[in-house]
Amino acid sequence: MARSTLLFLSGLLASAAPVVYAQQFGGTLGEVSAESVLSSSGSPSSSSSSSVSTSSSSSTNSNFTSSSTSTIDLAAIGLHTLAKANGLLFFGTATDTNLFNDSAYMQIVNDRNMFGILVPENSQKWQPIEPTQNNFQFNNSDRVHSLANSNQQMLRCHTLTWFQQLPAFVTTTAWTRATLTAAIQTHIANVVGHFKGACYSWDVVNEALNDNGTFRNSVFFQTLGTDFIPISFLAAAKADPNARLYYNDFNIEFDNNKTAAALNIVGLVRRAGARIDGVGFQGHMTTGQTPSRQAMANVFRKFTALDLEVAITELDVRQTSLPPSTAQQAQQATDYVSMVGGCLDVDGCVGVVAWEYTDRYSWIPSTFPGTGAACLFDENLEPKPAYTAVASLLAAKATGVPAGATIAGIGAGLTNSGAGGAGNGGGVSGGAGVNTNNNGGSPSTSSGTGSNSGSQGSQGSTANIPSAEFIGNFGGRPGLVAASSVNGANAGGGSNSGSSSSSASGSTSTASSSSGSGGAYGY
Ligand code: 9MR
């Protein structure tokens, strides 16, 4: 798919997105609930083709009558829009200010249909943000926040207590229990306080575990034992009561000792009376060594069973030899689909973040020389087979239209001529679900079968509607985030705080299979 096609379609879709958001957040604009739109059933096709033929539209929308396009590439709709249509909260990417002068790269970062949440790849880490004690530097991280703000994208905030990227004062001071506790509390109070209301979530503690499930011998652990974990969560909750608080780690995807240890951390935090809302699965995977979709879903469920949400927070799937062959690319596509599909299959998995969307800026080659090509887009910013596979997965599940099926009636959105399904033609002011065409939908509902020839609604209704997620309602609990929008995971959210007793024992009793697999990524 040519990038020009991608950008063209993304542009067309841009003003429709807020309607989708408003509906899913229980806004007043739509009468179509997320559930009714997202009656996703059946297994998505694993086909890597996402192109669909379309008949010409009866649309009077000039955007469409001027187009001679007879094929819509579902992949071009944008991952976030497709993810939202499946009931996820977001599909996003890591980025940071060192890349902001690459305009071609930024054009895709800035496309909210593609990425609905940004994560500062480095600028919120301890070293850049508090390089010397009590000296806070927010310039770069503020720029990432501002960018997300102006794009009406959410922000995942990353990260607070982590053994890497620490300033010298943290690693060299002869701490006592009291002084290190105070240093952690001061850091978190200032950083989380600075971004209060801006962060969907914070990775409060990152990578506290070794791959065998024991605790990493960090400066924090050496001085405070495991207490540094609840100390951090308590401080974060105090500084921003609405940000979701995550434990984040890698190689916990394999249902091994490290997975069990991560579950144990949840109990540890809660027993201390602190709030933890989610666990982030970084998802730094290797082609051919990624759990199956079902295995991934089963691991997620171990966490969601503890009244937690989960997310894939740093997804990439690296090739072990370069350049990748066609077969390697196909394997990578399968692996991406396993990860994203696992998330889709689990109530309480709220979204996916790519750890850089393009090979142009992936951290992998410098850390693991000879490996790479791990991202959804190549170095030329062209979507790879993995991108097409993920987009097809999301589109197929949202619409019930198998990838490659014929779609008729682009004038009213992606209507289902081939397979029935969700019925995308409805919606009060712009369609629903993946009906993201910028044309407003007919108020009439679509059965989801046959082409939707609905007349065009007013485009004006989609303009300038701030999405609930953008204005910060995502943190509101209870109630501001519709339960449906997070697959029920946060219904009654906020009650996690203090719900220690129920989770503590469960977390430790989850036996590990000690498969020992994984380990694809380590320091
Ligand atoms: O991608 C980040 C890279 O630019 C930094 O140099 C590196 C520093 O340790 O951190 C990378 O991001 C890491 C993330 O913050 C935590 N999980 C592992 C990621 C890859 O190392």
pLDDT by residue for the chain (523 residues), tens only, comes to 333 333 333 333 333 333 222 222 222 212 222 222 222 222 223 333 334 333 333 332 223 233 333 355 655 689 999 999 999 999 999 999 999 999 999 999 999 999 999 999 999 999 999 999 999 999 999 999 999 999 999 999 999 999 999 999 999 999 999 999 999 999 999 999 999 999 999 999 999 999 999 999 999 999 999 999 999 999 999 999 999 999 999 999 999 999 999 999 999 999 999 999 999 999 999 999 999 999 999 999 999 999 999 999 999 999 999 999 999 999 999 999 999 999 999 999 999 999 999 999 999 999 999 999 999 999 999 999 999 999 999 998 777 765 555 433 222 233 222 222 222 322 222 222 332 222 222 222 222 322 232 222 222 222 222 233 333 333 322 222 222 232 222 222 222 222 222 222 222 222 222 222 333 333 3
Atom of ligand 1 nearest to the CA of 164: 9
313 CA to centre of ligand 1 in angstroms? 12
364 CA to centre of ligand 1 in angstroms? 9
Other Cβ atoms closer than 10 A to 264: 18
How far, in Å, CA of 153 to CA of 146, rounded?
10
Orientation of helix 326-344 relative to helix 385-399, angle to 10°: 30
Q: Does the C-beta of 459 come closer than 6 Å to ligand 1?
A: no
363 CA to centre of ligand 1 in angstroms? 7
Q: Is the peptide bond before 383 cis (omega within 30 degrees of 0)?
A: no
Residue of 156, 316, 363, 523 to test ligand 1 pocket, by largest number of atoms within 8 Å of CB? 363
- Residue 73's pLDDT is 61
Q: Does the C-beta of 251 come closer than 6 Å to ligand 1?
A: no
User: Which are the catalytic amino acids?
Assistant: 207, 314
Q: Does the C-beta of 356 come closer than 6 Å to ligand 1?
A: no
Q: Does the C-beta of 469 come closer than 6 Å to ligand 1?
A: no
Number of alpha carbons in the 13 Å side-chain half-sphere of residue 126: 25
Residue linked to tokens 């207590």: 161
Asked whether 405 and 450 are in contact (CB, 8 A), the reply is no
Q: Does the C-beta of 509 come closer than 6 Å to ligand 1?
A: no
382 CA to centre of ligand 1 in angstroms? 23
Residue 282 is given by DSSP the state -
Q: Does the C-beta of 165 come closer than 6 Å to ligand 1?
A: yes
How far, in Å, CA of 344 to CA of 406, rounded?
24
89 CA to centre of ligand 1 in angstroms? 24
- Residue 75's pLDDT is 52
Shortest-distance Cα residue to atom 4 of ligand 1: 363
- Residue 398's pLDDT is 75
Q: Does the C-beta of 123 come closer than 6 Å to ligand 1?
A: no
Shortest-distance Cα residue to atom 3 of ligand 1: 363
Q: Does the C-beta of 496 come closer than 6 Å to ligand 1?
A: no
353 CA to centre of ligand 1 in angstroms? 14
Residue of 121, 156, 207 to test ligand 1 pocket, by largest number of atoms within 8 Å of CB? 121
Residue linked to tokens 């379609």: 9
Shortest-distance Cα residue to atom 16 of ligand 1: 206
Residue linked to tokens 């350049």: 323
Q: Does the C-beta of 314 come closer than 6 Å to ligand 1?
A: yes
How far, in Å, CA of 470 to CA of 468, rounded?
5
Q: Does the C-beta of 362 come closer than 6 Å to ligand 1?
A: no
- Residue 400's pLDDT is 72
487 CA to centre of ligand 1 in angstroms? 29
pTM equals: 0.71
Burial classification of residue 351, based on how many CB atoms lie within 10 Å of its CB (0-12 exposed, 13-18 middle, 19 or more buried): buried
